[in-house]
Each structure stands twice: as structure tokens, then as C-alpha cells.
Amino acid sequence: MFASAIYLRLMMRGIFSLLKLLAANPGDLRKLKERSEASGERYVRPPRRYELPSYDPVMKIIPSRRRYLRPTRFCNPYTPQVMALANSLGAHRLPPRQYAKAAFAFAKEKLYLEICPLDGVDQTLERGAGTCFHLISVFIALCRAAGIPARYKMFSTTMIQAWRSALVDQDPMVKKWYDSLGYFMIEGEGEAFVDGRWTVAHVGPTAERQASAGLPITRFGEDALGLWFFAVPGTLMIMESIPLGLGRGSRFLQRIAPGSLERVNLGVLAQSEAGLKVLEAAGGVEAYDRQVRVAMGPEVPTLDLEEKKGIVFAE
């Protein structure tokens, strides 16, 4: 099945699930909107972790209209913010793999996870935070600005309990929706074409968030699938662009469920704070990662995807 057909099926199922849930529990709509004043907690975005470099028109950026290099929905690699940052990271100076690793490290560790409506990569960089799709788009835009083809890998997911506790169980309505469908959440990763092959880049979690769940610190080329996310069979999609409707859906959720989204964001902050303590106790990020990988045993598995009319796992 083509990626667009899979996506349409998932979105229709998610919308139907939400409408059915609200019809059966009309009082829950008020709970979706209620913010967190009762608990005394309000979400406040942490300070941005970086200074954006200034754009200079002489920076070496070569616009392209080729597939996986051209601008796409919410992902324009040729905005001043992206071009300036790409230049500062070594675009067109570093070897492709080395640069892709630098782009990966920035998108993964310098941006905060925040559930908010989808918007452009320039706005994400100005804000310093966004959803996993904001962060993936930053990685993809940085790669495309450097002439490295990059794309989205999307899937409907189930997740390990430690991840679910921070992202789903923080809000009763989100939990109820997740449980009613089982896998309404669409997750994603980036992929960059370096050294003749597509290499995965999972940029959603910072080191402290992974430490809070006892997970290794993801490296460029390591997949989240099979480790803390599990793709529902038949839902894997390879796309050049964020699909139509995902942005509108994110704005709709912000409008009807600001309280629920705030509680999820508070849960993400709590997860990060807990992870910082774990990293400190372990002696830092590298020491923690070494300890976890030794305890896990074999190397974290990777998955190769073969692009045909349908998306299949390689045998």
C-alpha cells in the first residue's frame, strides 16, 4: 500500500476514534480544555539552548528543486535561520556523514520536545522547541541545505511503558483516547542519504529523557524501532514531506485540548528533570551511555528499509 493511503487510513481512524470517544463522554470535552491551575502547575517553556547565528548572503547554500532536497511542507531548507545554522555546522565544508552527524546532534540535543501546532522550521529554531515532527523537520532541513537528501519515516506506534508514562498517562483524556484505539499516535524519524545509503536519525528525545527511561543515548544511524517504539504492522511510511492534514490536525487539537497538551508538556519537563539526575549520578552522558549499553548486551539493532510500491522490512 502506498504511504499516502496508509496515512489517510490512520488519520481517518484516529479522527473517528476521537469523535466516538467525545460522543460517548460529552463531559470530557471540558476536561480537555481545562488547564492545570488546580494543581498550581503551568507549563513554561525552558530557555532556548543555543544562540542562532546571523545570516550572511554570501554563505554557500545552493538551492535545489530535486526530490528530497527541495522545500516541502513546514520544511524549507533555504530560510535565513536554517542557512545560517547549516553554515555554522559545516555545510559544504565537512564530509556528508560528519555534517549529518552534526545536524543530528543539534536537532536531538539542542531542541526541547513540546507539544504544539506544526509550523515552519524557521519558527521552530526561533522557539527552540517543538514536537517530534518539528525536530525531524529541522534535521531534514539542515541536511537539505547542505545538499544531502533527507526524508521522513513515519509509523503508527505502540511504546514502552516508561515512554507512555511521560507522553500518554499524564492526561486522563489522552490515555483514554490512546487506549480506545490502541495506536492512534503517529511517530517519525528522519533519514539522510549518506555514503550511498539511507541512514536513520531519531532526534525526538534528548539524552536526559532517554536516561529517565533507562535507554541508551541514540546515535546517528540507530533506530528507535524495536527499542522504545514498535511500529504497528502495515503502517510504515516513507515520505518526502509532512503529509497534508497533519498541521491542521495539530492546530485542531491545540484549540480543543489546550489543558491536555499542557499536562503532557509538564510530563515531558518532569521526565527531563528526572533524567538529569540519572545522568549526574552516572557521571555524565558518556558514562551513563556506556553503562546502559554494557547492561543491554548486544548492539542496538538497526532496521533497513527497501523502497518499493509498498514499504517492507528487508529480510
User: C-alpha grid cell for residue 214?
Assistant: 533507562
Neighbours of 288 (CB within 10 A): 23
* pLDDT score, position 311: 38
AA letter at 128:
G
AA letter at 281:
A
* pLDDT score, position 312: 34
- 3-class DSSP assignment, residue 129: strand
User: Cα–Cα distance between 120 and 158 in angstroms, integer?
Assistant: 27
Torsional sign, CA 230, 232, 235, 241: negative
Output the CA–CA distances (angstroms, integers) from residue 237 to 1, 10, 183, 200, 220, in the order listed: 9, 11, 15, 14, 20
User: Cα–Cα distance between 52 and 135 in angstroms, integer?
Assistant: 16
* pLDDT score, position 315: 32
Task: Considering only CA atoms, give the Rg of the chain.
Answer: 19
* pLDDT score, position 19: 67
Residue found by looking up cell 480543543 in the block:
256
First to last CA, the chain: 19
Query: Going residue by residue through the chain (315 aa), what tens digit of pLDDT does each one get?
Result: 566 777 677 667 666 666 666 666 666 656 555 655 445 678 999 999 999 999 988 887 778 999 999 999 999 999 999 999 999 999 999 999 999 999 999 999 999 999 999 999 999 999 999 999 999 999 999 999 999 999 999 888 776 666 566 666 666 666 666 665 554 577 899 999 999 999 999 998 999 999 998 999 999 999 988 777 778 888 888 999 998 888 888 888 788 778 888 888 998 999 999 999 999 999 999 999 999 999 987 655 444 444 443 333 333
* pLDDT score, position 21: 64
User: Cα–Cα distance between 165 and 160 in angstroms, integer?
Assistant: 9
* pLDDT score, position 29: 56
* pLDDT score, position 153: 94
* pLDDT score, position 175: 67
* pLDDT score, position 24: 66
SS3 string, 133-179, reads HHHHHHHHHHHHHCCCCEEEEEEEEEECHHHHHHHCCCCHHHHHHHH
Contacts of 253 (CB under 8 A, 6+ apart): 117, 261
- Note down the domain range covering 202: 3-313
β-strand partners of 156: 186
β-strand partners of 260: none
Q: Kindly tell me the burial class for residue 189, based on how many C-beta atoms sit within 10 Å of its own C-beta (0-12, 13-18, 19 or more).
A: buried
In order, the DSSP letters of 5-19 are: HHHHHHHHHHHHHHH
* pLDDT score, position 314: 36
The phi-psi region of residue 74 (left if phi > 0; otherwise alpha if psi is between -120 and 50; otherwise beta) is left
Domains held by the chain: number: 1
Q: What is the pTM of this model?
A: 0.84
* pLDDT score, position 184: 54
